[in-house]
Structure 1
């Protein structure tokens, strides 16, 4: 294990804290956008569907890296407002993965048996009551696996933020490499290990949540 160079860990763990903080905040933001866009694409109002569909297609059809650059470098120039690297990263990741998550929301809601929706309508439930009491609880169970996969992808997507100078774990690794390129194998090995541990932890959390939700419904 000597070749892994344990002295590399302190700066990498410092960067990992930034990566995990960015991941958690971005997951919350992405979920909000996913829910908003997913429900919006099912709206009975054509203008709402059009706006949400446009958002989804733009952010799914363009590169996350370019979105990061646009929000961090270009948008502040246009609006004369300076964004921190963390803020720009959260916005870009939230919008990008929220666009992908909207399809998870939309498809899960559409997968709820129509008979139950018709039954809740027959009971004179309002659209809000139907969504809150009948549709969303069932759709949520179906959303969890998809959201779990997106969380892992989002975590890995944070590796791009070092290009806008955010001092995440990848940034720390590249900085260490610039001081001593001969240690590149050890640095990259530690990056692989740390990303794997973080990803696997997220996977376990999602699996635990799925079991609790299924058990609760059972």
Structure 2
């Protein structure tokens, strides 16, 4: 088997990697906003839950989180008489989403807190409620400031998808390892793997740069 014959399985795995990156980035962004804004809440319960989420998922290994969701959670559910088994794609997407969401939450919090105080004073003078100030003033102005950091997190998330191969999810890393075990052609396989991840990272970086420019123009149009 020469390197041309590797393309089919590797492209199949790359498609799984792309979908995992897309799904986990979307859900991770939702978690980031929910818990980033929650950490700034005046409600002690919401704030406490948000802080706990952020600290737990930033302070533990993604690999451990993935294994816990896939291997430990079903055992816990069995002891409670509940079926908590997750398909590999669900466990992988959830672990990646929670992990990137925890890091993204701090990005959201920092960007919101960086909004000039004069803007908040103006909202207060206009008799905005705290919720209106948050979603109409702070968040729209903070989004462009978040984009460079979110771009870095998205690329990191792409690279982290390789860990899902350890729960037998057929992503790019899993397919590459299957081929390597069969052919023992480590040099070719890992070289192809390196360039494929690099290529996907370049495309993702370019997309995030476009999104960053779009949000910058959107903010300029609102001002």
Alignment of 1:1-218 (within 5 A): 5-79=3-77, 80-181=83-184, 183-218=185-220
* CA RMSD between the two structures: 1.3
Distance 1:217 1:62 in 2: 36
Q: Could you tell me how far 1:72 is from its partner in structure 2?
A: 0.3
Q: Could you tell me how far 1:215 is from its partner in structure 2?
A: 2.1
Kindly provide the CA deviation profile for residues 43-92 of structure 1, in whole angstroms up to 9, marking residues without a partner as x.
Answer: 11222222111111111111110111000011012113221000000111
Q: Could you tell me how far 1:125 is from its partner in structure 2?
A: 1.4
Distance 1:213 1:108 in 2: 14
Distance 1:165 1:206 in 2: 30
TM-score by length of 2: 0.93
Distance 1:41 1:210 in 2: 25
Q: Secondary structure at the match of 2:209?
A: helix
Gaps of 5+ in 2: 78-82
Contact 2:144/2:219, CA 8 A, preserved across alignment: no
Q: Could you tell me how far 1:212 is from its partner in structure 2?
A: 1.6
Distance 2:118 2:14 in 1: 48
Q: Secondary structure at the match of 1:125?
A: coil
Kindly provide the CA deviation profile for residues 6-32 of structure 1, in whole angstroms up to 9, marking residues without a partner as x.
Answer: 221111000000000011000011111
TM-score by length of 1: 0.95
Distance 1:48 1:134 in 2: 21
Runs of 4 or more off by more than 6 Å in structure 1?
A: none
Gaps of 5+ in 1: none
Aligned residues: 215
